[in-house]
Structure formats: structure tokens, C-alpha cells
Amino acid sequence: MEDLLLLHCSASYAPLSPMNFLKQAAKVCGDKVSIVYGTVGFSWRETHDRCLRIASALSQLGISSGDTVAALAPNIPALYELHFAVPMAGAVLSALNIRLDTATLAVILEKLEAKFIFIDNQYVHVVHEALEILSQKKGKQPFVVLIQEDDQATTLVANYEFASGSMKYNDLLGMGGTDFEIVKPKDDGDPISVNFTSGSTGEPKGVLYSHRAAYLNSLASVIRYDMRIAPVFLWTVDMFRCNGWCCTWAMAALGGTSICLRNVSAKVIFDSIHLHTVTHLCGAPAILNMIADAPACEQRPLPCKVHVIIAGVLSMSQVLKVEGLGFTVSYAYGMTEVLGPAIVRPWRADWNSRFSNEHKNDQFQVGLDNLVIEEVDVKEADSMKSVPRDGKTIGEIMFRGNTLMSGYLKNPKATQEAFKDGWYRTRDLGLMHPNGVIQLKDRAMDIIVSGGEIISTLEVEAVLLSHPKVLEAAVVGKHDDCLKEKPCAFVKLKEGYDASSVEIVKFCEEQLPDFMVPRIVVFGELPVNSTGKVQKFSLRLKANAIHNNRISPKNGCQRS
């Protein structure tokens, strides 16, 4: 038996890393198009060479294993290249949210202690102000690399000086060589990236991804999103969101083509599909709404099958519109800590009839697309026992497997809490149906208990979003002396539409049990954080102010 206990050797073992995908793509698909950005295009061989040059230059400038490199840029070729070039130099990439305000950005940069930061020309002023805040705190100042696309950029950035120095991306590219020997991770558990999520609390948390998890999740994404060899991916999901849901690396694994976009609109989506024969696009429900509400003059018959993967609460009416245009829609469930969407389910027109409840765009079944996830379960949080498969008993959705985060950056306490008892605790509540389908009910902090009845705010929001005049909706619990809580709805109407609270309440009454109907409807903008998540804690305060202070309709509250 001792003869079988062999040590790892280079012939039988190599650390798993998505960096390997790029080398293979350059070898197998060298002349095929890897990136298209406007009139600019690169082949996989060129992309590989460019990434090697950037990695080489970073190494020459002092980057070493374990250093952090930040980036603030939209979905442009440079940010895609950094997903390979930074780990090739042995460093850790942190692609930052381009919608961050200066104060939050300063807090994140202080946590990261990045040695370099790559900045797109459009966001130079934001980073400059954040670094000034960091300087006042005596924080580490990163070396700045400016990503510029035209001659006008030179004038724009000339007014800014950076304490640690700066240079242009193309100059950095010119420094490096293609003979650079990439720095492979000593262990595939080493970090490859840090992704920041604010979650529902608003506090920035750095989520660490390992080379191994990123590699495996990239391959899993190929199955989840029903990708084939050489797909054409339209970048409507931000690359700063879970490294573009790991599609940055997955596209290299398949030798596909990335259509990079600085800005996204319905016209851009339809034009890109026709120009490049796009096969896949992903994103938040806003992308679905963008397609569904596109003016008739912008909508065009699809030249091919286009998969749309959406993570978030879906509006049935919007899904029907988009499917009617020829798209294939799938609904995704996940979070930053599980490297983005972990479970993806194709939308089906008949799913409302499959269970007794009315709105089930929140159901998922674990299948072949989750081979790299060891287990997904719904458990009673204290006893850690699985809830009965009765479609009634609510528990916490939990994960464990090979494609979870390694932990939170510099926050061991939060990491221990998240992985308590050997499972990742999502803090999402759900139930298990007899056939193994998991139904998401709500976030633990958002669920409403009213007179002994449990109300899923997601289910109420799904009904509100199916109203033809509603663009966005959020539901929170409002204190009630008799029932403990009652649902209160906050609604943003589509541009050019008008509706009364009576109309909204009546619409809900036709589709929901009486106890789930929100009797107070507030119209206006919904407060969101930099990641686009609705700040429900803020809405709860507003809802309870309505209850306690009895705000009149003229102050923004409309009562039914």
C-alpha cells in the first residue's frame, strides 16, 4: 500500500489556474478573433502576447507574488487583458466597481493596499480624489497606469498628478517582452482575485477567489450557460462583478470571442447581435428591461439563437416580451461568495403551473451544471439538519464545494461566521420541494412575518414587476401593532406612465393572498448602493417613519 502513496510531481500534477486557458487558446485558436471593441480587434495569439507583455512590465516595475493590482475601468480590452496579465505576474487582481463614490473607493483602496492601479481615462478624477483621501489617512499610494483611447485623453489627465507616479497603458505594454516566464501559483489555493461586495449592509467586503475555484467555476460556467465551442459573448455584465461571472476566463477556455462595450443600450445590444452574431449575454434584470422596452425602431429579428442569463427578480411580462423577440432566457441564482451565479435554470412558460404558488421565478434545481459544487441544501440554521422536502418548511440555503470563496480579505471573523459548521451560509431563506427543486423565499433580514404568516418580499416584488407600468419595485416590512409587520411597497414607474396606489393595490389583490398585499405604496426612485442593490434598510426606516409619523400623501406617501 505504501507504494501507492506517491508524491506529486510535475508530470502528474499542476496547479489549476485559468491562466492555462489563455495559453491553450493561443496555441489552438491563435488566429481566431478573441476581442472586438469598436473598430479594434485582436486574435487569441495577439491577446496572449499582450498579456505576457503586461505581466513582464509589471514584474520589471517590482510586482511580485501576492501583491495586489487594482483596476477601475468599464468592459474594455485592457480590463479583459488584466484578468490574465496580473496573475501571470504572480499578483492578485481587484477589478473595482466603476460606480463607486470617492469615499467608498478610498476605503476599499485602504483595505487593498494595492501596489498598482489601472485607471480608465473616464474615471481619473474619481480615483484622484479617492487617493487624496487615502493620502490624508497616510495610506499606501499605488502606482497609476492610465488607460487612454484617444488624443483627447491626454488633455484630460494632464491636470492630475499622482504621488507614486504614473504611466500610460500602451507605454507599459511596450516595456514588456513576450518571452516572459509566467509566475505559476505554488498552490492552486493561492488567491487570483479580490471582488468587493457591499451586500445588504453597505460595508465593503473583499471576497477572495483562488486559482482553483476560478478555474473550476469557469469550466462550470460553460455548462451552466449552455456555451459551445467558440461562442460570441456580448459584455453586458460588468467584468468587476465576480470577474464577469468568470466569463473572462471561460471565453479563453472555449476560444470564443468577447465583444467589449464601454456603454450598454438596447440599440447597442441589437446592433452587436447582428454585426457579430452574438450567442450569449448576461446581467441584471435591467438588461432584460432594456431589451423588452426597446423602441420598435431599435428591435431587429435575431440572426441566431441568443442566450440571455439574468440574475435577479424577473418580471414575467418582461420575460415574455424578450422570449417573444427570439431570445432564450435563463434565471440565475448566486452571489459574490460563490463566484457569481451558481445555479442557472432556463425560464419556462409553464413553470407557474408546476407548483401551487403563483410566482416561481425563484426556483432552482441542482443538476449537471453544478458538478463542481459538492452540495447545495436547505438547512435549519441551528441544528444543521436538512429541512423536509415538503415545499413548506423554510430553512437557510447553504453551499459547499470547490467553487466558493476562500474567505473575506483581512476579516477572519466574518469568514468563520460564513463557513460555520463546514457550509457556506448564504443567509438566504428557501424551501425544498419533493422533486429536489429549491425555492428561494427571501433574504433572512428581509422576510416579513405578519400575523403568523411568512411573506416573501421577492414574491410580492415579482407581482409588482409584472405590472405593465412598473419599472422597479422593492417591498419591506412596516411595523404594525397588531400583526407585527405589514408589507410596504416602493415603486418606480416606467418613464411616461402614471399610476395610483389604488391601481397597484388592486393589481396585487388579483394575484396574491390578502395577507401578502402591500396596502401602502410609495412612488419614486429606489435608493441603491454602488453595486446596484436596493438599500432595503433605508426603505425600512422610511416605511416605519410613515407608520410612526403618519406622513401625508403630499410628503411622498400614497395610501390606498
CATH of domain 44-220: 3.40.50.12780
Give the distance from CA 340 to its chain's centroid. 6
Q: Contact 408/205 with Cβ under 8 angstroms?
A: yes
Please give the full DSSP string across 30-79, using - where no structure is assigned: TTSEEEEETTEEEEHHHHHHHHHHHHHHHHHTT--TT-EEEEE--B-HHH
pLDDT at position 481 is 82
Mean pLDDT of all residues in 332-341: 93
Q: How many residues does the chain have?
A: 560
Which pTM value belongs to this model? Answer: 0.88
CATH of domain 264-443: 3.40.50.12780
State the Cα–Cα distance between residues 268 and 476, nearest whole angstrom: 35
Residue 240 has pLDDT above 80, yes or no: yes
Give 528's DSSP letter: B
266-287 tens-digit pLDDT: 999 999 999 999 999 999 988 9
Who's near 309: CB < 8 A, 6+ residues apart? 224, 225, 280, 281, 282, 283, 329, 330, 331, 332, 341, 344
CA-wise closest residue to 370 among 225, 474, 245, 505: 225
pLDDT band of 556, cuts 50, 70, 90: very low
Residue 354 has pLDDT above 60, yes or no: no
pLDDT at position 369 is 53
Q: Contact 207/405 with Cβ under 8 angstroms?
A: yes
* CATH domain 448-559 topology: GMP Synthetase; Chain A, domain 3 (3.30.300)
pLDDT at position 466 is 87
The structural domains of the chain, with segments of one domain joined by +, span: 44-220, 264-443, 448-559
Please give the full DSSP string across 138-173, using - where no structure is assigned: TPPPPEEEEE--STHHHHHHTT---TT-EEEHHHHH
pLDDT band of 156, cuts 50, 70, 90: low
Is 44-220's fold the same as 264-443's? yes
458-481 tens-digit pLDDT: 889 989 988 989 999 999 999 888
508-536 tens-digit pLDDT: 999 899 999 999 999 999 988 766 778 88
